[in-house]
Amino acid sequence: MATYTITLNERTSDGKALLSYLKALGVVIKEVHPRSKSSYVRSQEDKKAGRLEEFTSSEEMFQSLGIYQVCGKSK
pLDDT in tens, 33-65: 777 888 999 999 999 999 999 999 988 888 888
Average pLDDT score, the chain: 85
- Residue 23, pLDDT above cutoff 70: yes
Domain range list for the chain: 13-74
Distance separating alpha carbons of residues 70 and 4, to the nearest angstrom? 59
**CB 29 within 8 Å of CB 23:** yes
- Residue 73, pLDDT above cutoff 80: no
